[in-house]
Each structure stands twice: as structure tokens, then as C-alpha cells.
């Protein structure tokens, strides 16, 4: 998943792709993709100026929140189970992390 601030992308492009890097990305980790998401995708996102990255692990029921600082990812927090989520860039709102695990 990806998101853009309205100030940077006020309307969707008319193309089938986005040239503007997102402000936020979220990867849902799985045993078959976790290595690629961490070792390949995160460095690409940092290099292209993505400001925030979330890694959700449904098996561990965790959320890792990262902020891009000068091209390097800084881990801000790791949340688990039913912890309240109010993290950048969505820190103006809150939701329980376990809402993601609802079946």
C-alpha cells in the first residue's frame, strides 16, 4: 500500500502508474516476501525519498514504524497485539492494532 499527502498529489494522474514517490508505504510481510520487503524494497523506498514505512507482520501480530532520515531508515517503534496505533504519518488518529487481525 502507498499514500501521498494532498499537498504533493492533489489529484490522481491520468496514467496507469505514479511517477511521484509516495510519502508512506506499508508492506504486509509473509514468510515468502519478508526478505525481499526488508532487504530490497526498503532501500529503494529510502533512495527515492519515501518518508515513512510500515511493516506489518500478521503472523507475529506486529507493526514496525520507520522514518526516513537522510536516506536511512530509523525504527521509531514496534507495536504488537492490541496496542493503539497513532504513528506518523497518521498520528492525528488512532486505531487498535488488533483491528488488522480481526477475522
Higher pLDDT: 5 or 50? It is: 50
Question: pLDDT at position 46, please?
Answer: 97
- Is residue 73's pLDDT more than 80? yes
Residue 87 · residue 76 · CB < 8 Å = yes
Residue 68 · residue 76 · CB < 8 Å = no
| Helix ranges restricted to H, the chain | 34-36, 42-47
- Whether the pTM exceeds 0.85: the reply is yes
pLDDT digits (tens, 9 = 90+) for 75-97: 999 999 999 999 999 888 999 99
21-100 topology per CATH: tt1808, chain A (3.90.1570)
Least confident of 40-49, 59-68, 75-84, 93-102: 93-102
3-state helix, strand, coil in the chain (%, to 5): 15, 35, 50
- What is the rounded average pLDDT of the residues 37-41? 96
Write down the domain spans for the chain.
21-100
- What is the rounded average pLDDT of the residues 24-45? 96
Amino acid at each position: 500500500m502507498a499514500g501521498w499527502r494532498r499537498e504533493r498529489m492533489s489529484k490522481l494522474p491520468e496514467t496507469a502508474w505514479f511517477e511521484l514517490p509516495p510519502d508512506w508505504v506499508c508492506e504486509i510481510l509473509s514468510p515468502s516476501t519478508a526478505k525481499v520487503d526488508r532487504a530490497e524494497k526498503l532501500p529503494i523506498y529510502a533512495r527515492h525519498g519515501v518518508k515513512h514505512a510500515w511493516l506489518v507482520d500478521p503472523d507475529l501480530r506486529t507493526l514496525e514504524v520507520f522514518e526516513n532520515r537522510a536516506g536511512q531508515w530509523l525504527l521509531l517503534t514496534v507495536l504488537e497485539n492490541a496496542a493503539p496505533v497513532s504513528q506518523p504519518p497518521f498520528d492525528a488518529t488512532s486505531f487498535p492494532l488488533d483491528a488488522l487481525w480481526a477475522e
